[in-house]
Structure 1
Amino acid sequence: MKRPASPPLRPIKGRTLREIAYEELRNAMLAGHFEPGQLITIREIAALLKCGVMPAREGVQQLASQGAFEFLPNRSFRVPVHTLEELQKIFEARALLECYAAERAAGTLKPSQVRTLRRLLARLAVADEALDASQAISTNYRFHFMIYEACRSPYIVDAIDRLWLRIGPLHLRVFQSNRSDQHEFFSVLPQHAELVDAVEAGNGPRASIILRALLTQSLAWYEVHAFQEAPARGAEQPQAARPAGSRTARV
């Protein structure tokens, strides 16, 4: 039997409203514009994005499927508040994936990419003086993922990205802490420079060791300075959504 001819479909150009809503929400989540425990309704998201309810709902639902939001019974969503055990498991998975990606990326970066990494580190070095929270968090994300993407495995990078989505709001705790605690958090920047050196030199095992140490130190900081126990499921108090960039005091 002769196969029916393919329909005369043409590629869809541009992005749909759902894709734009998802990307904007995803970027806001990664940049720390939402706080742990924050409650959000679809109408509030639609108002912030200046779009219809349908694309806002689809964007939030896609992020919820990736663990960035939690469904609540009253048709609202909540930014997860992780328990200590959950946080430790996330960092355990990050170490496995990110150290592997860094090792695979060693020796693959172009000189221009290495120079970009060093410029990003220079920006982070003054993060607590010249950059606001979202700029610093975004710069840190760009630094790490420039290395991870060089491992040339989109599946590994996607898995890492989903883990970062789960803890994006937690990064705000750094900038809600006092100056002393912030300086302690950023004291690992010299090790980031060593990571760049190892990747540039093609020393994958060394890059993996450095990154594992960085993740261990980062987890230890959050355990001491930023961790809070999640309230019992269903017992959270309402907290209205706020425009991107708004801040509250550290709890």
Structure 2
Amino acid sequence: MVDRWVAPKVGRVKGYTLRELAYGELRAALLSGRFAPGEAITVRELAEMMQLGFMPVREGVQQLASQGALEFLPNRSVRVPVYRLEEVRKIYEARILIECYAVEQAAKHITPEQVAALNEGLQEMFTRAADTEARDKLKANYDFHFQIYEACGSSYIVEMIERLWLRIGPLHISVFNSAPADRDDFLSVQPQHVELVNALRVHDAAHAKEIMLSLLEKSLAWYERHAADLLAA
């Protein structure tokens, strides 16, 4: 069972419906590793945890289910899908195609202000205390990467990337549940991230794309080696 969390103040937040609020909270929970692959929970339990009504939470769940991030079970509960290794490889195949293109385009259009924000994001990602909660580290990672993707100038590309992240996001928590040596192996990517920001800063699209490809290939290789227990047979 996931830990209890509290959504923002219930009611109509300016510009948002309760369904949108529920969707946003559930989306953030998936991306930050609050749900593990295969974990099941009822919509009513989710509504109680989020302090929102049953219907807006169900609608938020339905929206995420339509995106493949959740699936309904016969007993009226929902769960995070458990993927086979081959499915994970296909997700990464799509990520490589879309995210490398997004990085390439971002390098052409990124502004000095956006580069400065990325440098701040690097500090957030790699200077956190060792005991910082995993979901906070995952959020910092998400924020950093999506600052780059948004710099590509296409909301359609960003939306496609986010859908892929929603499918793979729950696997990310496995990094922090792995043996220290395995975790350190996955997280030893600070130099590549610094190099990526530098390539973006000088608008070197080819080099930025090359670094992004390397990061994604390393991530997939880690899951192939260490996350077999989270994947379906």
Q: Which residue of 2 aligns with 1:197?
A: 198
Residues 106 and 176 of structure 1, relative CA distance in 2, 3 Å threshold: same
Report the CA distance shift for 1:229/1:186 in structure 2 as closer, same or farther (over 3 A): closer
Q: Aligned partner of 2:138: which letter?
A: I
Question: Match for residue 33 of structure 2?
Answer: 32
- Once the two structures are superposed, the pairs formed by residues 136-155 of structure 1 within 5 Å of their partners are 136-155=137-156
The letter for the 2-side match of 1:166 is: R
| Deviation digits for residues 30-76 of structure 1 (CA, Å, limit 9, x no counterpart) | 11111111001110011011111101100111001111101211111
CA-to-partner distance for each residue in 1:204-248, whole Å, 9 max, x for gaps? 11111110011000100111112336457xxxxxxxxxxxxxxxx
Unmatched tracts of structure 1, length 5 or more: 1-11, 233-251
Residue in structure 1 matched with residue 92 of structure 2 by the alignment: 91
Structure-2 separation of matches of 1:230 and 1:190: 29
Name the structure 1 match of 2:213: 212
Q: Does 1:77 align with 2:78?
A: yes
Q: Is the radius of gyration larger for structure 1 or structure 2? A: 1
**Distance in 1 of aligned mates of 2:96 and 2:20:** 30
What TM-score, normalized to structure 2? 0.90
Structure 2: which amino acid aligns with 1:137?
L
1:70-122 deviation digits (Å, cap 9, x = unpaired): 12111111111111000000000000000000000004222232122122212
Q: 1:231 to 1:215 in 2, by over 3 A?
A: closer
2:174 match: 173
CA distance in 2, matches of 1:231, 1:72: 17
Q: Percent identity?
A: 55
Distance 2:17 2:43 in 1: 18
Question: Do the aligned partners of residues 43 and 74 (structure 1) sit closer, same or farther apart at CA in structure 2, a change above 3 Å counting?
Answer: same
With over 3 angstroms needed to count, the CA separation of the structure-2 counterparts of 1:157 and 1:145, relative to structure 1, is: same
The answer to whether 1:226 aligns with 2:224 is no
Q: In the TM superposition, what are the counterparts of 1:43-192 in structure 2 within 5 Å? A: 43-127=44-128, 129-192=130-193
**CA RMSD between the two structures:** 1.6
Give the Cα separation in 2 of the matches to 1:70 and 1:230.
16
Cα distance, 1:128 vs. partner?
Answer: 6.5
**Deviation string for 1:171-209 (max 9, x for gaps)?**
100110121111111111111111111111111111111
TM-score, L = length of structure 1: 0.84
What is the DSSP-based 3-state SS (H/G/I as helix, E as strand, rest coil) of the residue aligned with 1:160? helix
Aligned positions, number: 221
Which SS does the other structure have where 1:81 is aligned?
coil
Please tell me the residue identity of whatever aligns with 1:151: C
Q: Which runs of 5+ in 2 are unaligned?
A: 1-12
